Structure 1
């Protein structure tokens, strides 16, 4: 594993660092805008007071923090594959290029000593999982990985109540940031309440310290940060596009890990770019908040 010099220096000095996934760059955003937006997300972490560490596998080497050449490679190389924890070794052995998911980013971040991670939306239990057993590896990885994931809840294309139940079973705590409701990615409220609310980065840092004191920091923790009101997707438009997208995916025989990119692309086309604008806005907001939380925790 290669750690970028800026990231390594910050970790050794006890300065705040925030991990960032790379799947959003390679698979979640359209080219050529993805490279520019990736740099903007890193800048959002800096605006929050921390050093960004985008994670990916480049030529078989897990890299924590990317230079410009590596970031451009992940953004533009057509051979880049989506890599979760189970694929890491295979991609590394074959000297491939892989964009890390929430699960693999969390895993590598923890190995590097990074405890705060920003992303867009958490993976979860898929609709129809009672028959398909389709559940994101994000959940089980967080059940054994000591990281705080700042996200806009889970994508609304998933089974939200089942996901919340699984997080509870797996001992993964969920905090609402300035909200008592669980957000649904494009939407500020997915329709379900939360038991725990925090209203400042300092409060989040206090929870992180308490976890360490009590020995519960071996589990992941979710900080659910709703998309800003001005960036939220119109709910009627969202519901209409989601219904049509689910039907289209079923008709096309799309299954498993291919469902999410299919539906995200469907949203982008059917909302004429409004969903993409919301996606970018919420990721940047999460990155800034993660930087603020990491900075508050580093000054304990």
Structure 2
């Protein structure tokens, strides 16, 4: 792994000292938000994790290496670069071998975090089963990775552009536990409540950590989804976001947008249709997740 992984000085020092580390993805920087909000948010999220007593490790691909932890200059480069590839499991070997600049999705970040020995990963929302997947077979690689990589993923549920019911069914089939914080139901990214129940409600970080340690000590490999709903003050009305999502999905279909281009298109279109309010919600929920992830990392020790 020394040939493929490079740690930032901050993360290397944390590893040497045995301090808790929280992984962060980078597609939210290169494909999830516009510049300069993307870089500003990334820095603020890292600072929230530091304030919580843990060390942030934003993960990306640069110069043929998996970078675990980015310098401010590297964050800026990633946030500005139009050449950053969106990296999932299938793309990792190509991007590393070809020395491409790459931003890691949930799936790729989980792989890299596990390689680096990091057990807690904070993101906005996980991918899932897309609407119409019964004919398109469009299912995010995030779900397969959650069944493979032993990393806890703190998120605001699944993006509301997805079929959340089928997403939860898929996770159940693959034995991925879904925990909820502060409520019984699974969150839906822009709104706190998807209308679907999570598997278990575990509010306290110490109890979440005990759950994770028990699962992995039993030899039950794979990840855990920890659903942390967007704060009510920052949430969008469910009826409004559902109607806007339906419009954006229809426009994507009419334009023939498919595959990994769908999610960035939909997020950008929803931002436009909400006149920027969805971006404010996205930023708020990521910061909220960072607080929960830092608490969990400390509890895991």
**1:234-278 Cα deviation digits (max 9, x unpaired):** 223212211111111111111111111111001100001110000
**1:42-71 Cα deviation digits (max 9, x unpaired):** 112112221000000012211000111211
Q: 2:37 aligns with which of 29, 33, 36?
A: 33
Deviation for aligned residue 1:13: 2.5
Q: 1:288 aligns with which of 286, 291, 294?
A: 291
**1:107-150 Cα deviation digits (max 9, x unpaired):** 00000000000000001011111111110000111111010000
CA distance in 1, matches of 2:53, 2:178: 23
CA distance in 2, matches of 1:193, 1:220: 18
Deviation for aligned residue 1:288: 1.2
Greater fraction of residues in strand? 1
Q: How does 1:151-230 map to 2 (within 5 A)?
A: 151-216=155-220, 218-230=221-233
Q: Which secondary structure state, in structure 2, belongs to the residue aligned with residue 184 of structure 1? A: coil
Q: Which secondary structure state, in structure 1, belongs to the residue aligned with residue 254 of structure 2? A: helix
Aligned to 1:250: 253
Aligned to 1:150: 154
Q: Which secondary structure state, in structure 2, belongs to the residue aligned with residue 254 of structure 1? A: coil
Aligned to 1:89: 93
Q: Which secondary structure state, in structure 1, belongs to the residue aligned with residue 195 of structure 2? A: strand
Q: Which runs of 5+ in 1 are unaligned?
A: none
- Return the TM-score normalized by structure 2: 0.96
CA distance in 2, matches of 1:47, 1:234: 31
- Return the TM-score normalized by structure 1: 0.97
- 8 Å contact kept, 1:177–1:226: yes
**1:171-225 Cα deviation digits (max 9, x unpaired):** 1111001110011000101111123001111111111221233222x11001000
CA distance in 2, matches of 1:195, 1:172: 10
Q: 1:23 aligns with which of 19, 27, 31?
A: 27
Aligned to 1:137: 141
- 8 Å contact kept, 1:91–1:98: yes
Count of matched residue positions in the alignment of Structure 1 and Structure 2: 297
Q: Find out whether 1:124 has 2:128 as its counterpart.
A: yes
CA distance in 1, matches of 2:51, 2:235: 22
Deviation for aligned residue 1:18: 0.2
